[in-house]
Amino acid sequence: MSETMERHFKALELDKILHLLAEETSCDAAAELAQNLRPSTSLSQVKRLLTETDEAHTMMARFGAPSFGGLKDVSNSLRRAEAGGTLNMTELLRIATALRTLRGIVDWRSKSEGVKSILDDRFDAIMPNKYLEDRINHAILSEEEMADNASPQLATIRRKIRSASSRAREQLEKMVRSPVTQKYLQDPIITMRDGRFVVPVKAECRGDVPGLVHDTSSSGATVFVEPMAVVEANNEVRVLLSQEQAEMERILAELSAEAGNFASGIISGYKEAVELNLIFAKANLGYKMKATLPLVNDEGKIELKRARHPLIDKEKVVPTDIELGLHFDTLVITGPNTGGKTVSLKTVGLLTLMAMCGLLLPVADNSQISIFNHVLADIGDEQSIEQSLSTFSAHMTNIIKIFEQADASSLILLDELGAGTDPIEGAALAMSILEALRRKGTRIAATTHYAELKAYALQTEGVENACCEFDVTTLRPTYRLLIGVPGRSNAFAISLRLGMDPEIVEHARELVSSENTRFEDVVQSLETSRQRLEEERKEAQRQRLEAEEASRAAKERKDAIDAQADREMEEARRRASELIARTRGQIDVMLNEMEELKKQKNKALTAEQKAKLKSGLRALENEADPVRKKDEEAYVLPRPLKKGDPVLIYDIDKKGTVLQPPDKDGKTALVQAGIIQTRVPVSNLRLLNEKPVKKPQGSVTRSVNRANVRAAMELDVRGQTSDEALMNVDQFIDSAVLAGINMLTIIHGKGTGALRAAVQQHLKRHPNVKSFRLGTFGEGEAGVTIVELK
């Protein structure tokens, strides 16, 4: 990137955005990438970069951000290990830390592996190596300490060192505690010199303690003597320490060789992790800016909705709409100083560069931005004292350089065009510059004070006026950019508000040419109309939002009511099903008892008695079912009922005869059904001679004898696996509950006791089991379990 382009980027403050991006990274390499990030001029590449950032933004919102902490550049160490070099413990630990970070990144992605992403290729390129990571961490405890169990040889050597050191200390401790030698010692302590255990002996008693002198105190009053009794033990320690060092170097060489074998894969994964760190840093920066993904084109079309300059405090920045390249190729922004003209100019340029770097933009949804080959800016006072250039000369020098680079794919941003010289000449020169740049096909946004340029924009096709709104009442700019409205001079109004003598202001008005006055009056009229329409638009938008909110609330309430109704209906069906199941169980038991009673009395039931019994049972089942389907068409009696009419009691499918017609309220009638007289709702009666109605038969009645009931009270699971047995126990208990049986026997045998333990453990957790016990004498003892149901 040329130095000239860097100057343009700096004028638009891209370097400050990249600094903010670098602060969001977690490692030095990613921070360096962020600082060196430069805009891309390839549409496909910009789209890919933006898509990566947007998908990282989405994944962060759903799953949180992956951790890139501990990601260090270990490439040099790995290459040295690959070449046969031996790494120290610090370098190996850094490799292990990097491997742990890479593994953490892959583990994070695996938690969301069901969601496809354009970033998957980058994640797949990271190959964790837990084997090497564990080997290093198992062998090395810290940068200065190797673990005893790094190898069996090292563990043996260190055990011998501890043993030899212990023997030497024991000998010296005897001397220190001995009354004979204590008087020769300066202090009753054991210390070390040159890796050997010694005792401090008084200089004058040197001959009384035979041994080797290793050191003398600074005063000369003490000599450090290695007694002859411990020389051999110390020698052994020194030899073992040398062996320890050699073994540690061998282990480091072995670990280094392992790391070298995996060097290329680790370095490749590290580079991908750095790239991912940068992408997620972009996403996090976008989250802090409340940014969105813009639409991107290379046709010079810019449409920014509620754009915010990212370097202005988000509590103070005023969102503004900016358009360029859709209906016009040149935007002329006018208005007073400090009104926000330069901020609008910088916002267009900076957001364009950010998008070309793959950064999300602080704009509303459906905004679009264009990429350009060149983004060229002449912003600020570039007066150079060393070059003796005036403000005007500096601006002209920059514009000349811009002319040299500008082409049809360029965005040109010019601040205070033509300023710093005679107003008439400056305005003429400004118009000429705009015309020349337009002929090159560029997109231009320029700020100016010249009234002549307002008229130029009004009269020239493809050129549009814009101004930064100014509140004369408060004497403050609102910083909103109004496209299509030329900025008007507020000098007279501001002067009056500040207390200027009205006569002076009025005389100034008279000095202004009549054409200029009429122009300003037209601008004032346009501004008044615009403000009125703006207020009306805001009111219409407010009402629309209120209507949408009311509609949404009503829909949510309806959905909630529907959901509640569905839940209540489902609960009713569930309870009805349970009630029907219990009723059927009672019916089966009743039939079984009656069949048993018939056998005991040795007499058969007549067909009529059986039919009555079945009909009564069906009535019991129907009465117990609270969820009944209504007739598809409501039944209406063809005529009023009278005494003697044959009728059908519809819900129990029972024929009867009307004994008394409906009473005064007309709701019930007295009906004889068999030997029973009962009052029945008129709505439940059907006239048989008018329209006989047969209720669909759906009931199933089965006869269960006592032997079957007894068999249903016992379950034999001997010879089955635990899983098979527990499944059969569940089915057994469910059947018993439906049949109304509350005491069961499960036969599991004695054997090893494993099946019994599994069954009883399962019974503890079963919701229908009240208690259970082993069988007693005569019941099967420990081979059976007696279960009592709730």
* Binding site per annotation, positions for ATP: 335-342
- Pairing mode of beta strands 302-307, 646-649: unpaired
CB proximity list for 337: less than 8 A, separation 6 or greater: none
d(CA 505, CA 128): 78
Residue 657 burial (CB count, 10 A): 14
CB 759 within 8 A of CB 767: no
Token pair for 614: 């079945």
CB proximity list for 166: less than 8 A, separation 6 or greater: none
CB 651 within 8 A of CB 620: no
Taking the mean position of all CA atoms in its chain, how far away is CA 287?
12
CB 693 within 8 A of CB 648: yes
CB proximity list for 139: less than 8 A, separation 6 or greater: 146, 147, 150, 151, 251, 255
Taking the mean position of all CA atoms in its chain, how far away is CA 155?
47
Residue 641 burial (CB count, 10 A): 18
Residue 438 burial (CB count, 10 A): 17
Q: Amino acid identity of 40? A: S
DSSP state of 37: -
Annotated binding site: 335-342
Token pair for 444: 């231009």
Token pair for 739: 């049949």
User: What is the torsional sign of CA 617, 619, 625, 628?
Assistant: positive
* Own/partner pairs, 106-115, CB within 8 angstroms, 24+ separation: 108/63, 108/66, 108/67, 109/66, 111/63, 112/59, 112/62, 112/63, 115/59, 115/62
Token pair for 201: 């002996």
- Spatial strand order of the sheet with 330-334 comes to 374-378, 410-414, 443-448, 330-334, 463-471, 476-483
d(CA 303, CA 312): 20
